Chains A and B, each alone.
Chain A
Amino acid sequence: MAAPMGPDDIRQVLDAALDLPEADGVEVLMMHEWGGLTRFANSSIHQSTWREDTGLRVRVVKENRLGIAASNDFTKDGAARAAASALELASVAVPDPQFPGLAPPAEAPAAPDSFDEATANTSPGERAEAVASLVGEVGQGFRAAGAFETTAAEIALANTEGQFCYAPTTQATITTVVSGGDGGAGTAEEAHRRSADVDAVAVGRHAFQKARDSQRPQDLEPGRYEVVLEPLAVSTLVAFLSYMALGGKAIEEGRSALTGKAGEIVCASAVSIVDDASARGALGLPFDFEGTPRQRVAMIDHGVFRSGVYDRRSARMAGRESTGHALPPPNPDGPFPLNLTLEGGSASLDEMIAATERGLLVSRFHYSNVVHPIETVLTGMTRDGTWLIENGEITRPVKNLRFTQSILGALSDVELVGRDPVLVSEFFFSAALVPALKIAAFNFSGRSDH
C-alpha cells in the first residue's frame, strides 16, 4: 500500500519548511520509510511487523544560532510548524562560531539501480515463503531463528542555498541462527538491494552446517591465539574502528587513535579500508544528511593512515572540504563512514585455516563494547560457532570465549586477507563489505559455559 511519493511531491512539502523569512538559512531532511519484517524463532514465525513513516528534520540558522525540530507530520502545515519550532529553539541557542553554513548546490551522482520495486512491494506471504525455505534446510533436532526484512525509503534534502537532492533505495536482509542438537549453533546472513538476490535456502543451509559442525563444544583456556575471523567477526572490528577512530570530529579533537597519524603505518600492509557508497554491492546513499555528495575516501591504504571522513563542521575545523559523511542533525558524534570496504586479498578460508598452527576460527562476535577508545581496545564474546585449529586443521568446536583486544593491534597482525568479501548489513543505511582475516595473535581474556 505504500509507494514512493517522488521528488516533485516531496519538494512541495519541503518548500513549506524553507519558507521562513525570519531565518538566515533553513535545511530540511526528509525520510519516507516503509517495509516489513518477518521474524522467526523455534522454526516458527512468531513476530511479523510492517510500518510506514515519513519524518522531517528541519535545521534553522539565525545569526549562527542553530535549532532543530523533527516531526512525522508530513504535510505543508506540519513542515511549517517544524520550521517555526526550530526557529524558536535557534533563538535561545548561543552562536556556533564553527558553523560552516549550509551545503551549496552540488549534483550527487545518480544511483539508477538503488530502488527495486519488487523489493519495496514484497508481501507478507513472500517473506514467509522465504523464511519457510530457510527453515526447510534445518535438520531434525535443530531450530532456526532470525528475520527477513524488506525495506524501502525515499531520502530527500533541500536547503535555502538551493541544494535539493533525492534518492530512493531498497534493501533486503535475511539473518539466521540455527541451534540445537547437543549444544552448538551456526549463523549466516545476506544483505542486498533486491529481495530477488536473497538466497534464503543457502543461508539456512550454511547456518545449519555450522550448527551441526559445532556440536558438543569443549572448554578452552583463554589466552593469545592465532585467529581466522570470518567476515561477520571482521565487520564488528571495522565498525568499532570507524566509531572510535575514523570520524573527522574525533580526529580533530584528539579523541581518536589516529589523531596526528596521517601518513603513518597503523596496520599491516595487507589492510586497506575505504569508504565508498558507490562501490559495487554497497547500500549507500549518493549524498549525506547535509546534502553533500559522498566521496570515496581511502582511509587506510596498505596499512598507512590517510584520512578520516568529514562533514561540513569537522571539515572546517580541519581546514578542508567535507567528504560527504554527515549524519542527520544533531549529530554530536560527528561524521561517520557508513559504507566501509576492507579490500579483499587472495586467500581462501581453507588456506587461512591451513596456515594456522594453533588458533581459533571465529564465526562472529556478540555484544561488543569499547574498553579504551584511544587504544581502540574492544571486548566482546564469540558466538554461533567457534573452533580450535591445530596444525592447519579444524579439530574441535569450543565454548564461547571473551576477547579483550586492540583493533588496530589486531589489524597490525593481519597475515592473510580473504578473497571473498561479504556485505554485512549494519545500522542506518550502512553496510560493510569485508573479507575473512587471518591474524597472528588475538587476546581471549575469559570464557563462558556454552
Chain B
Amino acid sequence: VTIDVARQAVEAARTSGASYADARVVSEEGESLTVRNQEMEGVDRSLSQGLGIRVLVDGYWGFAATARTEDAEIAATAALAVDIAKAASRLPMDPVRLAETEPVTATWETHLQEDPFLVDLDEKVALLMEASRLAQSVKGVAFAESMIDLYRRRTHFASSDGSAIQQTIVHSGGGIEVTAIGDGEMQRRSFPNSFRGHIRAAGYEHIRSLGLTQEAERIAGEAVALLRAPECPSDVTTLVLDSSQVILQMHESIGHPVELDRVLGMEEAYAGTSFLTPDDRGKLRYGSDKITVVADATLPGGLGTFGYDDEGVAAQRSVLIQDGIFQNFLSGRDTAPVIGQPSTGSMRADGWQSLPLIRMTNINLEPGDGTLAEIIGDTEDGLYLNTNQSWSIDDKRVNFQFGCEIAWRIEKGRLTQMYRNPNYTGITTEFWGSCDAVGGSEEWTVYGTPNCGKGQPGQVARVGHAAAPARFRNVQVGVR
C-alpha cells in the first residue's frame, strides 16, 4: 500500500508539470535507553512518518514534504513542490541533467539475526544497569552511563523513471561512558567508541557482542587514572591512532572533501567547500602509498550500507584514493554529469522531510599489514592516541585539529606514560602523506559516525567507516 502512495505522489507531480519526480514514503522508528549511575536518564521511543516529493521542472529542483498522506494532501504537496521548482527559475542556472540509471523494482533489507525491537525492554535495561553498576564500582567515578540506541527506517521509493524500491534498514548501537571529576579536571572514557558507543547496521546480536559489562571496570579505571595523569606534552612526534580515531580523521579530512556538491560550491554557505577540484582526479597526491580509500555501500554492517540510495541508484563500491593518488568523488544523479561520470549512488536524506544530499556511504581505509601491537612495537618514540573527543576542520577541509580521550607515550616499542587531554593538528594532505603504517585486516573494524551534519535545513546522517590503526610521522601534538 505504501509504495502505492509513493507512486501516487509521483503521478500527481507529473500531472502538476514535473518533467521528473520521485517520492519517498518513510517511516522511522527509534528506541533509546540511557542509564546513568543506576538511574534511567532516558527511556524513549519515537515514530516519524511522512512523504517527501522531489520534482524537476525546466531543469530546476523543487521539494515538499508532509506528514499526512490523504489523497488531497498528496496532490497539494506535489503541486507545491512544482511551484517551488518554478520559483527557483527566478535566477538563471544551467539546467539540472540527471545521470542515467536503470529503473528498478526491488526489495532490500538489512541482514540481522535478532530484531532489536523485539528484545524485552527488561533485558535491555538489565544490561545497562549492570554495565553502569560495574563502572560505578570503581572508586573515583562521578558518572557511569550506559546506553542503547536502535533505529529502523522503512523507505518506499518510486520515481517517474519507473523505479519502485522498498527498503528496511536497521541500526543498533550501544556503549558506556565514564566520567571522573576532580581538582579542576573532568576526564571521560568511552567504550567501544565515544558519542553513544558503537553503532552498526545489525540487530541485537551486535549489542550482545559489545562486551559492555566485561569492559566497564577497565574503562572506569582509565577515566579515574586520567585525573592524575600529566597533560599531553606539546611536541612534533610520531603518532599512532586507534581505529576509531582513524575513522573520524578519515570522515572529516577525506569523506567530506570528496563530496562533489561541496566541490561544486553547493554547500558553500553552510558546511563549506573543498580544497579539491575536478581536475585533481588521477593526479593529486592525497596521501602516502599506504593510503587506499574506498566508498563501499555494500559493506556488511556499515551505517552507509543499503540496497539503493534515495535516488534509486544501486549500492556500489568505488575507489576514492588509490595508493595515495586521488581518484574520484562521491556524487549523485544531478552532480555526476557535471564531471562526466555516472552517479556513485551516494544520495541520502535523513528522513521523509528532507531532500537527498550527497552523503558518505561507508568510507573505508583499506587494510595494510600487521597488528596494532606490531605497529607500536616498531615505533621507537611517539604517542598512541585512543577514542575521539573533539574535532574541528576549516571550510575547505585543509587545517584540522582533533582531541582524543587518552594517550600513552611509546618508548622503544612499548606503551609507557599515560597522558590526559591529548590533541593533534595538521594539514590534510601533509598528514595523510606522513602515514607509513596501516594495520592489517585482523585489526580492521567497521564503525559508524551517527551524527554527520550537512545541508540546510540541517540534516543528520548516520554514515559508516572502517579502518585499522595507523601511524603518522612528524605530527604536532599538544596544541595549546
Contact = CB atoms under 8 A, between A and B. Distances in A.
A330 B129 contact: no
A366 B91 contact: no
Nearest to B271: A367
Given A146-B269, A402-B399, A330 B41 contact: yes
Given A143-B265, A254-B142, A448-B399, A402 B91 contact: no
B87 A125 contact: yes
A208 to B, nearest CB: 14
Nearest to A147: B456
B450 interface: no
Contacts of A52: 65-67
A374 B183 CA distance: 10
Interface string A184-195: 000100000000
Contact of B34 (A123, A332, A374, A380): A332
A332 B37 CA distance: 13
Given A41-B265, A143-B265, A374-B184, A92 B121 contact: yes
Size class of the A contact interface (CB-based, 8 Å):
35 or more
A55 B48 contact: yes
Interface stretch (B291-299, B361-369, B388-396): B388-396
A369 B269 contact: no
A400 B399 contact: yes
Nearest to B187: A374
A416 to B, nearest CB: 26
Contacts of B143: 253
Interface centre among B267, B396, B401 (most CB of A within 10 A): B401
A81 to B, nearest CB: 9
5 contacts: A39-B456, A367-B393, A368-B392, A445-B480, A449-B398
The 3 closest A-B pairs by CB, nearest first: A330-B42, A44-B93, A68-B44
A13 B60 CA distance: 39
Contacts of A430: none
B224 to A, nearest CB: 15
B186 A373 contact: yes
A265 interface: no
Contact of B398 (A65, A93, A379, A450): A450
B122 interface: yes
B268 A93 contact: no
Given A39-B456, A88-B121, A332-B42, A367 B87 contact: no
Contacts of B65: 49-53
A66 B84 contact: no
B40 A68 contact: no
A54 interface: yes
B45 interface: yes
Interface string B53-90: 00000001111111100000000100011011111111
B93 A366 contact: no
A13 to B, nearest CB: 14
B39 interface: yes
Interface string A147-171: 1010000000000000000000000
A45 to B, nearest CB: 4
Interface in A92-140: 92-94, 96-98, 123-125, 127-129, 131-132, 135
A434 to B, nearest CB: 20
B50 interface: yes
Size class of the B contact interface (CB-based, 8 Å):
35 or more
Nearest to A151: B457
B46 interface: yes
A50 B73 CA distance: 14
A128 to B, nearest CB: 4
Given A45-B60, A124-B84, 15 more contacts: A41-B268, A42-B266, A51-B66, A53-B50, A55-B48, A70-B44, A93-B125, A97-B39, A127-B87, A253-B143, A254-B186, A330-B34, A367-B394, A400-B395, A402-B392
B240 interface: no
B60 to A, nearest CB: 7
Interface centre among A123, A132, A400, A448 (most CB of B within 10 A): A448
A128 B480 contact: no
A72 B47 contact: yes
A128 B267 contact: no
B125 A92 contact: yes
B43 interface: yes
Given A366-B272, A381-B394, A404 B42 contact: no
A195 to B, nearest CB: 15
B43 A50 contact: no
B305 interface: no
